[in-house]
Structure 1
Amino acid sequence: MSDPLIRADGLSVHFTLGGLFDRRILKAVDNVSLDIEQGSFFGLVGESGSGKTTLGRALLKAVTISKGSARYDDGEVSHDLASLDGPDLKDYRKRAQLIFQDPYAALSPRMTVRDIIAEPLEVMGLTANRAETDERVREIAAKCRLNLEHLRRFPHAFSGGQRQRISIARALVSGPKFIVADESVAALDVSIQADVLNLLKQLQDELGLTFLFISHDLSVVAHTCDHVAVMYLGRLVETAPTRKLFAAPRHPYTKALFSAIPSLDPDDRGTAQKLTGEIPSPTNQPTGCKFHTRCPHAIDLCMREEPQLESEGGHDVACHRWKELMSAVPA
């Protein structure tokens, strides 16, 4: 494995809510440590409200890192994301980009596709003149399966899949190496999802990209990602190579998520594990293990002490009882 492109150590993103007499701290991301290897397709999964998008935006320096550290190192430059500003922040904007979830809301209806894709080049001053800008726009548009006729049109003339390819072209035009794809296929039909995912994998190979792929769809993650991290209430509860994680999940929360994946067998009624209760509020988190209020295997230790990620065989899990529960599973 190569050196990590992104390394986070104890990264936290906290927001202050309320006024002088009703001040609360919302722990959107809390003490997260992870490595994203260069050239990898790293998946991040979890329920809504688990902090996935906030973590992605923290790694893009789009929100302030409250505690801990995060570093970007592509072999050419190295940036400390927690203290990044000024010229270094401008340089990082070229190297790290975001693909938005909603292709309908992400594009200005008043701009042509050419102008949408060219905007990052013009804002960042990456090209010397219009001819150079047009050449770069045509080059990246062709890689995203957009032709010259497409560049003259406005976004309303395109389908959802075509709009998402425009969004991808805009994200790639500055020549980034790190891409955060935040639910980038969630709003698309299944057949179009496959087309966009295949395009992302092709672009990854051609351009040497590294992806942080945020998704609710575990079947998409299984098909696309090399490594997967599972997030719950602002913390990582399990992370492993995709094959290992899907073959033998260790954390009760991960097992519950995987049990909800629909089967292609029409006669399979499924054995989905029902989680009782709602995810706790990030402003009033439970003590001990954050999942113990919904975990069917919780004991007193889980309520008192918060488990830390424990690594074994490249598979990390934060659960006091995972070995005991794994040994209890019938062979």
Structure 2
Amino acid sequence: MSDDSLITARDLSVGFKIGSGFFGKSILKAVDHVDIDIAKGSFFGLVGESGSGKTTLGRALLKAVPITGGTAHYRDGEVDYDLTTLSGPALKDYRKRAQLIFQDPYAALSPRMTVRDIIAEPLEVMGLTKTREETDARVREIAAKCRLNLEHLRRFPHAFSGGQRQRISIARALVSGPQFIVADESVAALDVSIQADVLNLLKQIQRDLGITFLFISHDLSVVAHTCDHVAVMYLGRLVESAPTRTLFAAPRHPYTKALFSAIPSLDPDDRGRAQKLEGEIPSPTNQPSGCKFHTRCPFAIDRCRAEEPLLEHPGDGHEVACHRWRELLAETAA
């Protein structure tokens, strides 16, 4: 664990009981023994295919879903919260410090409330302001940071474009003064030009307020230009993690390489270089033995099918969980 970590998780697991058949309920392992450190003030990226457990991990770190195994801590210099046991007044305080930006801004905003009331609601629910004047002042302050003017505050969500709605969602997340924000596919529903505007806003907020972001996305191009550090998730496990430049320059896990090879390129000479992944991600309720990726990995050997790889730390902040990564790296360099 690093001293500058805001969020630290060790062996973190989240499971859900499903079904009610003759043999009883089965366990869906959405997050499976994850170790993660998110540095204070960083823009931490989390990528992977749909169904890999990214959203569940983010919500577990927000204490929005039950943690069923391992440990997770939030430390901001003022408080030290164990997220596995957090409850009561401490949980209420944590809600002020940790917030979520949803993927679909329209579905996340009440159509019956004005923008002013939407942004003000967390202040009123959490009791952070005592008078309406104090609430209005805080709302105007945060609205200005999110490029919303006074006229916007009087309107309803249906009067705005997708990018404007997302700025409203960001303002609502910021108004309680959080230190940690999970942005779950927060630009996925927006046009490309609007994505850039919202991403620039999030980066500006990070620089101005020192907020720590966990940025969940499937768009690797966005992650490459936004995040300081990136972790790759597959079937509930972290398979690789490294500083962004290091990871994109020299990915070591076969799954990471396959994801990166699928990034569209404008260079016509790059055509045909994509590494095709055969099959689909296995069901979390019936996970393969050994390495979770071996059913789709072209480099899998018997050891991969029998023994699950541990997350190794070869240096430079790089972590990788693969039995053959050194061997494959040597073959690539030869």
The reply to whether TM is greater than 0.5 is yes
Shift of 1:264: 2.2
Q: 2:120 aligns with which of 108, 118, 121?
A: 118
Look up the match of 1:3. 4
Give me the whole-angstrom Cα distance separating, in 2, the residues matched to 1:144 and 1:281: 40
Aligned AA (1:4): S
Of 275, 295, 298, 1:296 maps to: 298
Pair 1:326-2:329 in alignment: yes
Measured on the aligned residues, the alpha-carbon RMSD in Å equals: 1.0
Among candidates 28, 31, 47, match of residue 29 of structure 1:
31
8 Å CA contact 1:29, 1:235 repeated in 2:
yes
Q: Which deviations, in whole Å up to 9, do the C-alpha atoms of 1:11-48 show, x marking residues without a partner?
A: 00000011162411100000000100000000000000
Determine whether 1:156 maps to 2:158. Answer: yes
Matched with 1:228 is 230
Counterpart residue type for residue 77 of structure 1? V
Identity %: 82
**Within 5 A, what are the aligned runs for 1:156-195?**
156-195=158-197
The answer to whether the Cα contact below 8 Å between 1:2 and 1:38 also exists between their aligned partners in 2 is no
Task: Rate the CA distance shift 1:305–1:268 in 2: closer, same or farther, 3 A.
Answer: closer
* Match of residue 18 from structure 1: 19
1: CA distance, partners of 2:171 / 2:330: 48
**One-letter code aligned to 2:320:** V
Aligned mates of 1:225, 1:2 — CA distance in 2:
20
Conserved? CA contact 1:95–1:177, under 8 Å: yes
Describe how 1:1-331 pairs up with structure 2 within 5 A.
3-19=4-20, 21=22, 22-266=24-268, 268-313=270-315, 314-330=317-333
Deviations 1:170-205 (A, max 9, x none): 000000000000000000011100000000000011
Query: How far 1:280 moved relative to its partner?
Result: 0.5
Instruction: Give 1:129 shift.
Output: 1.0
* Letter matched to residue 63 of structure 1: V
Tell me how far apart the structure 2 counterparts of residues 205 and 120 of structure 1 sit (CA, whole Å). 23
What secondary structure does 1:167 align onto? helix
Report the Cα offset of residue 52 of structure 1.
0.1
SS at match of 1:181: strand
Query: Given the superposition, is the C-alpha separation of residues 143 and 2 from structure 1 closer, same or farther in structure 2, using an over 3 Å criterion?
Result: farther
How far apart, in 1, do the equivalents of 2:140 and 2:64 lie?
A: 28
- The count of aligned residue pairs is 331
Residue identity in the other structure for 2:9 = A
Gaps of 5+ in 2: none
Matched residue type, 1:46: G
* C-alpha deviation, 1:104, in angstroms: 1.5
1:2: Cα distance to partner? 5.4
Q: Quick one: structure 1 residues 3 and 138, their matched pair in 2 at CA, closer, same or farther if it must change by over 3 Å?
A: same
Is there any run of 5+ residues in structure 1 with no aligned partner, and where?
none
Q: Using the alignment, how far apart are the partners of 2:277 and 2:21 within structure 1? A: 36
Give the Cα–Cα distance (whole angstroms) in 1 for the partners of residues 331 and 58 of structure 2.
36
3-state secondary structure, aligned to 1:68? strand
Hey, what's the Cα distance between the residues in 1 that align with 2:180 and 2:12? 18
Q: TM-score, normalising length from structure 1?
A: 0.98
Partner letter of residue 144 of structure 1?
C
For the structure 1 residues 302 and 34, does the alpha-carbon distance in structure 2 shift closer, same or farther, using more than 3 Å as the test? same
Amino acid corresponding to residue 262 of structure 2 in structure 1: A
Runs of 4+ aligned residues of structure 1 deviating over 6 Å after TM superposition are none
The alignment partner of 1:328 has SS state of helix
d(CA) in 2 for partners of 1:322, 1:203: 37
* TM-score, normalised relative to structure 2: 0.98
Q: Deviation of residue 269 (structure 1)?
A: 1.8
Residue 321 of structure 1 aligns with an amino acid whose one-letter code is R
* Contact 1:41–1:227, Cα closer than 8 Å, also in 2: yes
Give secondary structure in 1 for the equivalent of 2:242.
Answer: strand
User: 1: CA distance between counterparts of 2:307 and 2:265?
Assistant: 36
Structure 1, 102-111 or 230-239: larger mean CA deviation: 102-111
Counterpart amino acid of residue 322 in structure 2: C
Cα offset for 1:330?
Answer: 3.9
